[in-house]
């Protein structure tokens, strides 16, 4: 085997492992479960080779403060609510269910907000943060592909774990590198001497280096293993220890009332503890009181009592990798059953705010200060346990209780921060999005998982999060000064997800993609367990392929490693594929599958070279299938979505998947865009706006100053 092919296999393994357990949302379930690692060997973030970086254990130096601009007494407050769908807001307005937002609508502005292409959180929030289109900031999807190797990789950034030398000393601290191009607008404000606080804005990780700004990172912060969230589920009904998508199952064997389990914690990159990928293991014991329906959980250092149907208090963990280096984590429990059978859920091992694996606040001490103020708090960026709910290791009620409690803690934090003297306060909540993803099945009677009973019980779970949003807005408005500008956004709307399109299978059937060893395009399909795109497809004859939530890439000469499509051929080929897909209908219902298909010209800027050649924009009910995200081609073109992940927007059409926009002042357009808020905020507080920010002013407050 040549060194090049050895490297390729290594890369493929890393990328495939990434897709099995790491990726956000339902992608974590797209891997073949048979192929997953054993339960004591959860998989890490892709460790694809990166340029060697200098050892770095100290926080980078902070930039020097600039004098505050004139007029800097003004304040902008921006509240973000992920995934709020305007048609539901309108229906709730009609029923007088959102009184505080209605006041803003009547006294200020309420409009649909144009999202990014595609209208999914990585691209949309990155557009909000940078005031640029996707082609400029370069975050196209949860999943990207490497044209040199045709393999999927994380779409927004990469974790490097702590490196230790043989003595156990740290030679490089763990760190996360974002692929995003462009600074956040709040960092721009901080650089001009303004006081800013940014709280839990999705995909703003790592924390910005700022002279005086405060920042708490949200979505993007991983668990201590570098996954978006890996849960633990313990039960005496499990027969064997096994990994499932998004977590692992551990059987409990009781001796009297007590069961003991060993669980893997932090990963030791030196593999000191055995096989590659070994983890520092710790013991945990459960003593069940079946009459009281409680479980006493004993960890390394403490015993807590967890009650049935309640989230427990947080516990701390220490994973000692060497005499001089330990990884610290926190977690908590939810007892689902503590009677005849025992079933205990444990949330992922997330960063300890007093000693985080990777800094997730600015200044570094801010995470610990928040613990001093509020006690231990959830630090994982993927902050709701969707994987566990999908796999039935957590209940709907436990999930919704957590959503309510987490939204309330974020609210408390934001209201407290409003009492401080700031020029900009930006805060986001992800609860509405996650509840919509998981509970859409109970609001769409055509969804395969819809039931009357479920609809009665959970059919308004999404509305409940909107009511909470309205309460938060009311409390924030009550704290505004007369001159304060309030902007409220959601990054995109929502659609139902009833059927998945196996895009690669469609490409195979239509002669654009060829599977090795299966010359009959009418029947060829990829092995379910095979995620190695190099071994599935014959790149010497294939013209196009799909990786990610809604992207098609040509096998382009000079870009893809084994590209065969010339530049001269590419435009006609793109138009041909686009035309055929736009004509595609569901053979069962006759419904059209796509509302639109965008081509790469819609993306402009320094990252446009990485853009997909075709960006799919599905009609309501359809999305790319799970196997498509990892590049596979199952036997059938369509597949029923019988997953609880039942609402989606990742590859919907930006033209009909707007978010919402509210302001406490009249704006100057009926069509605000997600890239306009940062520009408006900077101008309102008297800051200069960088020339490459694409957004426009939404208020008639003069010209933006560059």
Residues that bind Zn ion (CB under 5 A): 83, 433
Q: 83 vs 356, which CB is nearer to Zn ion?
A: 83
Over its C-alpha atoms, the chain yields an Rg (Å, rounded) of 25
Quote the strand ranges of 147-246, DSSP E.
Answer: 151-154, 157-160, 163-164, 170-172, 175-178, 196-199, 214-216, 231-235, 242-244
Taking the C-alpha atoms of residue 146 and residue 561, their distance in angstroms, rounded to an integer, is: 9
The helix/strand/coil state of 404 is: helix
Smallest separation, CB 497 to Zn ion (Å)? 11
Q: 411 vs 433, which CB is nearer to Zn ion?
A: 433
Residues shown for the chain: 706
What number of H helices and E strands is found in the chain? 17, 34
10 C-beta neighbours (distance < 10 Å), count: 14
Q: 12 vs 123, which CB is nearer to Zn ion?
A: 123
Taking the C-alpha atoms of residue 631 and residue 145, their distance in angstroms, rounded to an integer, is: 9
Smallest separation, CB 83 to Zn ion (Å)? 5
Smallest separation, CB 53 to Zn ion (Å)? 32
Taking the C-alpha atoms of residue 534 and residue 107, their distance in angstroms, rounded to an integer, is: 58
Question: Which residues fall within 8 angstroms of residue 6, CB to CB, at 6 or more apart?
Answer: none
Across the beta sheet with 294-298, the strand order is 258-267, 279-289, 294-298, 303-307
Smallest separation, CB 434 to Zn ion (Å)? 7
Helix axes 396-418, 431-439, angle to 10 degrees: 160
Q: 200 vs 248, which CB is nearer to Zn ion?
A: 200
Q: 432 vs 605, which CB is nearer to Zn ion?
A: 432
Q: 380 vs 574, which CB is nearer to Zn ion?
A: 380
Smallest separation, CB 234 to Zn ion (Å)? 29
Q: 32 vs 623, which CB is nearer to Zn ion?
A: 623
Q: 337 vs 433, which CB is nearer to Zn ion?
A: 433
Taking the C-alpha atoms of residue 431 and residue 36, their distance in angstroms, rounded to an integer, is: 29
Smallest separation, CB 593 to Zn ion (Å)? 20
Query: Where does residue 590 rank: exposed (0-12), middle (13-18), buried (19+ CB within 10 A)?
Result: exposed
Smallest separation, CB 652 to Zn ion (Å)? 10
Smallest separation, CB 646 to Zn ion (Å)? 12
The answer to whether the CB of 546 falls within 8 A of the CB of 524 is no
Taking the C-alpha atoms of residue 528 and residue 634, their distance in angstroms, rounded to an integer, is: 7
- 659: nearest Cα among 113, 119, 118, 129: 113
Smallest separation, CB 413 to Zn ion (Å)? 22
Q: 84 vs 633, which CB is nearer to Zn ion?
A: 84
- 36: nearest Cα among 266, 228, 225, 241: 241
Residue sitting closest to Zn ion (CB): 433
Q: 423 vs 657, which CB is nearer to Zn ion?
A: 657
Question: Which residues fall within 8 angstroms of residue 221, CB to CB, at 6 or more apart?
Answer: 205, 350, 351, 358, 360, 379, 380, 381
Smallest separation, CB 327 to Zn ion (Å)? 30
How far apart, in Å, are the Cα atoms of 124 and each of 52, 187, 697? Answer: 31, 18, 18
């Amino acid at each position: 085997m040549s060194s090049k092919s050895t490297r390729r296999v290594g890369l493929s393994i890393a990328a495939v492992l990434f897709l099995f357990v790491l990726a956000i949302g339902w992608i974590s379930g797209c891997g073949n479960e048979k192929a997953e690692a054993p339960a004591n060997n959860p998989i890490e973030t892709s460790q694809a080779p990166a340029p060697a970086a200098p050892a770095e254990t100290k926080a980078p130096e902070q930039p020097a403060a600039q004098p505050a601009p004139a007029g800097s007494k003004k304040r902008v407050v921006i509240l973000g609510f992920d995934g709020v769908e305007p048609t539901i807001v309108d229906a709730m307005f009609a029923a007088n269910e959102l009184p505080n937002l209605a006041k803003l609508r009547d006294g200020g502005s309420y409009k649909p907000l144009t999202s990014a292409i595609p209208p999914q959180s990585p691209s949309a929030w990155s557009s909000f943060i940078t005031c640029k289109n996707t082609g400029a900031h370069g975050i196209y999807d949860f999943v990207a592909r490497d044209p040199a190797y045709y393999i999927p990789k994380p779409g927004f950034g990469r974790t490097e774990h702590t490196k230790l030398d043989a003595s156990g000393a740290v030679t490089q601290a763990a760190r996360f590198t974002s692929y995003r191009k462009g600074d956040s607008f709040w960092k721009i404000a901080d650089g001009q001497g303004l006081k800013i606080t940014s709280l839990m804005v999705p995909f703003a990780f790592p924390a910005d280096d700022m002279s005086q700004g405060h920042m708490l990172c949200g979505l993007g912060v991983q668990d201590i293993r570098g996954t978006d969230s890996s849960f633990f589920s313990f039960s005496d009904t499990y027969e064997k220890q096994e990994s499932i998508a998004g977590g692992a199952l551990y059987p409990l064997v009781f001796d009297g009332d007590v069961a003991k389990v060993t669980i893997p914690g932090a990963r030791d990159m030196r593999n000191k503890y055995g096989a590659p990928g070994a983890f520092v293991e710790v013991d945990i014991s459960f003593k069940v009181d079946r009459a009281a329906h409680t479980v006493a959980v004993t960890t390394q250092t403490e015993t807590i009592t967890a009650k049935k149907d309640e989230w427990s208090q947080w516990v701390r963990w220490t994973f000692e990798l060497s005499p001089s280096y330990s990884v610290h984590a926190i977690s908590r429990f939810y007892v689902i059953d503590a009677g005849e059978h025992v079933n205990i859920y444990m949330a992922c091992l997330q960063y300890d705010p007093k000693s985080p694996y990777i800094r997730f606040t600015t200044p570094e001490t801010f995470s610990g200060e928040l613990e001093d103020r509020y006690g231990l708090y959830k630090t994982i960026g993927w902050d709701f346990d969707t994987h566990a709910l999908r796999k039935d290791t957590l209940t709907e009620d436990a999930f919704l209780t957590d959503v309510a409690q987490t939204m309330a803690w974020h609210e408390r934090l934001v209201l407290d921060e409003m009492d401080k003297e700031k020029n900009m306060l930006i805060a986001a909540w992800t609860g509405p999005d996650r509840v919509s993803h998981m509970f859409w099945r109970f609001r769409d009677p055509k969804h395969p998982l819809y039931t009357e009973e479920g609809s009665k019980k959970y059919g308004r779970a999404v509305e409940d999060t909107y009511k909470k949003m309205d309460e938060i807005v009311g409390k924030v408005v009550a704290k505004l000064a007369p001159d304060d500008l309030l902007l409220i956004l959601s990054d995109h709307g929502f659609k139902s997800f009833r059927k998945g399109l196996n895009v690669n299978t469609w490409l195979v059937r239509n002669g654009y993609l060829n599977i090795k060893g299966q010359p009959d395009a009418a029947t060829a399909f990829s092995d379910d367990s095979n995620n190695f795109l190099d071994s599935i497809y014959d790149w010497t004859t294939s013209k196009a392929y799909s990786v990610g939530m809604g992207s098609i890439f040509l096998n382009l000469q000079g870009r893809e490693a084994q590209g065969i499509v010339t530049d001269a051929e590419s435009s006609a080929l793109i138009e041909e594929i686009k035309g055929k897909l736009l004509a595609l209908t569901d053979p069962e219902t006759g419904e059209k599958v796509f509302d639109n298909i965008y081509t790469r010209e819609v993306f402009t800027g320094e990252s446009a070279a990485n853009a997909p050649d075709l960006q799919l924009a599905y009609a309501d009910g359809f999305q790319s299938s799970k196997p498509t995200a990892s590049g596979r081609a199952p036997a059938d073109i369509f597949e029923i979505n019988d997953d609880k992940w039942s609402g989606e927007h990742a590859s919907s059409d930006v033209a009909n998947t707007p978010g919402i926009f509210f302001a406490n002042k009249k704006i100057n357009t009926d069509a605000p865009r997600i890239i306009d808020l940062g520009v408006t905020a900077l101008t309102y507080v008297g800051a200069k706006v960088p020339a490459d920010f694409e957004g426009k002013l939404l208020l008639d407050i003069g010209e933006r100053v560059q």
